[in-house]
Structure 1
Amino acid sequence: MGEKRTGPYFCGIDAAMDVVGGKWKSLILWELDNHGVRRFAALRKGLPGVSEKMLIQQLRELEEDGIVSREVYREVPPRVEYRLTDLGVALNVALQPLGTWGRERIDRIGADRVHQGG
């Protein structure tokens, strides 16, 4: 598991990007925001191209940062569910203007969208 990230930071954006940086974290947030509670397999299916190892790593980091919670149910076979915490919901609200900017950029440059919405 990675070392806890504690700065120093130059500004608030630097601290925020430390939490959501990389390709998969923002997409994990988008998937959980749009679909609510997700099991690992459903998350992976919703994120084509992510490896199992990378998804596990990114989920662990988001959990360490208090953005995602992981609940393990003692069943056979074991069931694990992921959901956004209150902090994760607040982060998604903060990222909405960035998503709007990104959708406008997609339209401006004529890029293809894989999903509608996010």
Structure 2
Amino acid sequence: MNLAIIGGVVGAGVGLLANPETGKKAIKNLGESEFVKTAGKEFKKTAQELLARQAQISLKQLAAGYTSKMDEELPVPEKTNEENGRENSVNDESQSSKYDEIKEENKNLNDRLQRIEDMLNNLVNSK
């Protein structure tokens, strides 16, 4: 019984769409229906959220890779001994300034990443 009802509905739908005039009217009515409009908006919103999440993940991975690369390149302070006190003191200052520069650059990158994530979240929430 159920198969007969489903077959009748499918047959009627194919019959309507096969006739050029009624097919155009049916498609036009379908396009103007609230259900299709709402479904389209929801699909668009879901797609935007998905793209925003993928962009956030990509940015986080990029930033993580960049910061880990920077961590590998950080200078390691040498231990000073009394014999090379002056030379090590100069090297320590140089390495300390390089470390501070890298630390500041890392902070700036994290701030930029946070701003981009905030903008993506605002974009998703506004739609």
- What TM bracket, shorter-length normalisation? under 0.3
Q: Specify the structure having the higher radius of gyration (Cα).
A: 2
- The TM-score with structure 1 as length reference comes to 0.24
- The TM-score with structure 2 as length reference comes to 0.23
Q: Which has the higher contact order (CA 8 A, sep 6+)?
A: 2
Q: Which has the higher helix share?
A: 2
Q: Which has the higher strand share?
A: 1
